[in-house]
Amino acid sequence: VPVQTVSEQSVISQSDFITFHIPFNEGEKSPVDAAMISRMKKGVGLVNCSRGGVISEADLLAALQSGQVAFAGLDVFEKEPPVNMEILQHPHVSLSPHVGGSTKEAQNRISIELAEKVIEFFKNA
């Protein structure tokens, strides 16, 4: 099947499952909020592979309770450690540890950055 480029609105309104892989900075408004969720196909499954706060937890919980969202997969939360027990205990939410930094490549990069910081420290000592 050839890859097809479509608009964000097409993805949002036609997809059965949507995964989010987008940048997000603390203090920004959640891009995945009640307004966006309301444009999604009823019974959609959502997976946040980004940062906590990309999906508004309050809006996600309301959408889960109404059936607009059938399933959510989360490994990050608006506040960490997570405080919203309703999300953590919801039967249609799957939780997993956030292990993006556990790849060989990430560990290699962390090792190099740490070594550079130690060298810089002793140069300035």
d(CA 80, CA 45): 23
Q: Quick count: other Cβ atoms within 10 Å of Cβ 113? A: 10
d(CA 117, CA 31): 35
Specify the pTM. Answer: 0.77
Q: Model confidence over 75-89: pLDDT tens digits?
A: 999 988 888 899 999
Residue labelled with tokens 């809006």: 59
Residue ranges of the chain with pLDDT lower than 70? Answer: 100-101
The pLDDT value recorded for residue 90 is: 97
Residue among 54, 72, 53 at smallest CA distance from 62: 72
d(CA 53, CA 121): 34
d(CA 70, CA 17): 10
The pLDDT value recorded for residue 101 is: 67
Reading across the β-sheet that carries 93-95, which strands appear in turn? 17-20, 44-48, 69-74, 93-95
The pLDDT value recorded for residue 100 is: 66
Structure tokens at 118: 């130690």
Return the active site residues: 51, 80, 98
Contacts of 1 (CB under 8 A, 6+ apart): none
